[in-house]
């Protein structure tokens, strides 16, 4: 990939709040990562987050309910397997992030840092939100890297993004008590009406800003969807002491 094309991608991220880089991960490497994720899901080794923990629309009401042990995320992907670490700290990611932040990039282990799964039947709907809602950094300037480990479409719960929403100023009343963007407000409906759901293929990567509004529907297919997700910030943008954001050691690249 040329430096110029990376610059164009970074510029698109700055302007739209997200950019898709097709085929950034080669098929063989992506298949290896996917097989590892599938094996770890089967083993269900802690730490895990269950759909029942979140109680989003469509999730089982409790772990004792039908589907109650459906996994939402395999947490702390950095510590789970060398393949995950190698991708997270790869030269292509480090170089991309250096270009965006203009300084040394740092991986947050407290946020994302997971294999995201979405199951048929018990995989829940994720409402419109900004990821930064529960994050505590000096500046709201972080970028998440979403690697599709298989096809992602509207049918199986793929991502929706609102272009340009990362630069919008919203008041606290634009969000509900759980900090989801309220779809019942006319002014919010206008933003949601701009949303797009770009289809992804295995090996495609989405870079998106922490303030970009996004959501994801339920998985109406018969197969589990897998994605690997990490979040980065510049070295000068430090976690606030005493917060969840500062609860795990970070990884300078």
Q: What is the pLDDT of residue 53?
A: 87
Region 46-55: mean pLDDT is 88
Say yes or no to pLDDT of 150 above 70. Answer: yes
Question: Is residue 107, in this structure, part of any structural domain at all?
Answer: yes
- Percent of the chain past pLDDT 70, that is, above it, reads 98
Among 180, 65, 37, 40, which Cα is nearest to 121's?
65
Say yes or no to pLDDT of 61 above 60. Answer: yes
Query: What single DSSP character describes residue 120?
Result: B
Q: How far is CA 176 from CA 17, 163, 179, in A?
A: 22, 21, 5
- State how far the Cα of 156 lies from the Cα of 63, in Å rounded to an integer: 23
In sequence order, what are the residues at sequence separation of 6 or more whose Cβ sits closer than 8 angstroms to the Cβ of residue 176?
A: 182
Domain that holds residue 76: 26-60+68-199+213-252
Q: Are the C-beta atoms of residues 123 and 85 closer than 8 Å to each other?
A: no
Say yes or no to pLDDT of 1 above 90. Answer: no
Q: What is the pLDDT of residue 80?
A: 96
Count structural domains, the chain. Answer: 1
- Percent of the chain past pLDDT 90, that is, above it, reads 85
Q: What is the pLDDT of residue 63?
A: 85
Question: Is residue 55, in this structure, part of any structural domain at all?
Answer: yes
Q: What is the pLDDT of residue 69?
A: 85
Q: What is the pLDDT of residue 4?
A: 54
Question: Could you read off the pLDDT of 155-183 as tens digits, one per residue?
Answer: 999 999 999 999 999 999 999 999 999 99
If residue 34 lies in a helix (H) or strand (E), which one and from where to where? Answer: helix 27-43
Q: What is the pTM of this model?
A: 0.94
Among 127, 119, 135, which Cα is nearest to 50's?
119
Question: Is residue 153, in this structure, part of any structural domain at all?
Answer: yes
- State how far the Cα of 136 lies from the Cα of 233, in Å rounded to an integer: 12
- State how far the Cα of 201 lies from the Cα of 223, in Å rounded to an integer: 15
Question: Is residue 14, in this structure, part of any structural domain at all?
Answer: no
Question: Is residue 170, in this structure, part of any structural domain at all?
Answer: yes
Question: Could you read off the pLDDT of 72-115 as tens digits, one per residue?
Answer: 999 999 999 999 999 999 999 999 999 999 999 999 999 999 99
How crowded is the C-beta side of 181, counted as CA atoms within 13 Å?
Answer: 26
Question: Is residue 13, in this structure, part of any structural domain at all?
Answer: no
Q: In this structure, what token pair is assigned to residue 163?
A: 């272009």
Question: Is residue 101, in this structure, part of any structural domain at all?
Answer: yes
Q: Are the C-beta atoms of residues 205 and 148 closer than 8 Å to each other?
A: yes
Exposed / middle / buried, residue 128 (Cβ in 10 Å: 0-12, 13-18, 19+): buried
Among 152, 128, 124, 123, which Cα is nearest to 229's?
152
3-state secondary structure of 83: helix
Question: Is residue 10, in this structure, part of any structural domain at all?
Answer: no
- State how far the Cα of 62 lies from the Cα of 49, in Å rounded to an integer: 13
Question: What CATH number is attached to the domain comprising 119?
Answer: 2.60.120.620
Q: In this structure, what token pair is assigned to residue 252?
A: 């300078």
Which segment of 51-60, 121-130, 153-162 scores lowest on mean pLDDT? 51-60
Average confidence score pLDDT of the chain? 94
């Amino acid at each position: 990939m040329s430096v110029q094309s990376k610059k164009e991608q970074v510029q698109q991220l700055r302007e739209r709040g997200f950019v898709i880089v097709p085929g950034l991960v080669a098929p063989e490497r992506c298949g290896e990562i996917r097989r590892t994720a599938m094996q770890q899901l089967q083993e269900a080794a802690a730490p895990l987050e269950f759909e029942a923990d979140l109680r989003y629309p469509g999730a089982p009401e409790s772990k004792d309910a039908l589907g109650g042990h459906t996994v939402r995320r395999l947490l702390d992907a950095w510590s789970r397997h060398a393949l995950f670490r190698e991708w997270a700290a790869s030269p292509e990611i480090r170089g991309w992030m250096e270009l965006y932040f203009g300084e040394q990039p740092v991986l947050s282990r407290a946020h994302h840092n997971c294999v995201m799964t979405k199951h048929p039947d018990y995989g829940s709907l994720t409402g419109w939100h900004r990821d930064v809602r529960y994050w505590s950094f000096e500046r709201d300037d972080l970028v998440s890297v979403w690697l599709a480990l298989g096809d992602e479409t509207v049918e199986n719960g793929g991502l929706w993004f609102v272009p340009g929403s990362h630069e919008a100023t919203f008041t606290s009343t634009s969000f509900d008590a759980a900090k989801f963007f309220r779809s019942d407000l006319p002014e919010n409906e206008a933003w949601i009406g701009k949303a797009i759901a770009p289809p992804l293929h295995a090996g495609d990567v989405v870079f998106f800003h922490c303030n970009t509004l996004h959501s994801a529907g339920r998985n109406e297919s018969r197969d589990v969807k897998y994605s690997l997700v990490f979040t980065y910030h510049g070295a000068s943008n430090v976690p606030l002491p005493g917060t969840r954001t500062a609860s795990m050691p970070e990884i300078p690249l």
